[in-house]
Amino acid sequence: MSGGDFYAAPKIVTVRKAHKCAYCGETIPAGTRGVLMESGLWVGLFWKRYACPRCQPYVSEFWGWQGCESESIELDFDEFMREHHRDEWVTDDDD
């Protein structure tokens, strides 16, 4: 990170409008509780992303595994979950 970049402390929120989960790609409907909101400033651009309640418990572990960088969060998160939390992630019709 450069001098002006920052990562704000994540918050657990209830979303007021629909958002896309940055980790699984599913829609998070308006009114959903227990959503992780992450935000910050990276190379001069503000960003914000959301993690649905299903993905939220694994986000911190994922970033530790990933080394805090990802070119495709959805693909990398899917790989992480299949490798480390397969029983919670893969359904009978999914693989």
Pair 21, 29: CB distance under 8 Å: no
The whole-number pLDDT of residue 93 equals 62
This prediction has a pTM of 0.86
pLDDT, residue 43, reads 79
Q: Is 76 exposed, middle or buried (0-12, 13-18, 19+ CB in 10 A)?
A: middle
Residue 54 pLDDT > 60, yes or no?
A: yes
- Could you report the per-residue pLDDT of 3-52, keeping only the tens digit for each? 577 778 899 999 999 999 999 999 999 999 999 999 998 778 899 999 99
Q: What is the mean pLDDT of residues 47-68?
A: 95
Q: What is the predicted pLDDT for the residue at 7?
A: 75
SS3 content of the chain, % helix, strand, coil (to 5): 30, 25, 45
